[in-house]
Amino acid sequence: MKFNPNTPIMLYAKESGAYVPGQGQTNTWALVESITKPETEEMPAEKASVFYCEWKGSFGDRAISAEAIGVKDSATIRTFYNPTVYEKLKTVQVVIVKNADSTAIVDGEPNKNNPNVYELWGCVDNVLEENQFMEFRVRRYEGL
């Protein structure tokens, strides 16, 4: 598969916290980080939180079909397989921040007014089950 990973993204996964009597369930959005270099006796582990992908906006028939079901902005993302990212996308709610925009998360919550905040739309595909590439679709995050 040939693609051009030139768009940085960050991912935030929704994590459920403890139940607080009188307040309900507490939720937080944690930055998804992947270990790039394991910890050694001399050095702590190195982690990556910015991932590069090919960002392909929807157009034509896809855009018209999405508009018909209320999706105003969507895209297809192709990126390298990362087991940490893949697992988060498969198991919990994740927001994807285009261009690694530092203003996308405000007071620990995704900013639904930020044009760079998206959410998974559908499912993530481990292309050909080869653990080499992932592909998934996203739509603009609208919050609750």
For residue 92, how far is the Cα from the chain centroid? 11
pLDDT at 79 over 90: yes
Whole-number pLDDT of residue 27: 79
CA 58 to chain centre: 17
Q: What is the mean pLDDT of residues 27-36?
A: 87
- Who has greater pLDDT, 64 or 136? 136
Task: Answer whether 0.85 is exceeded by the pTM.
Answer: no
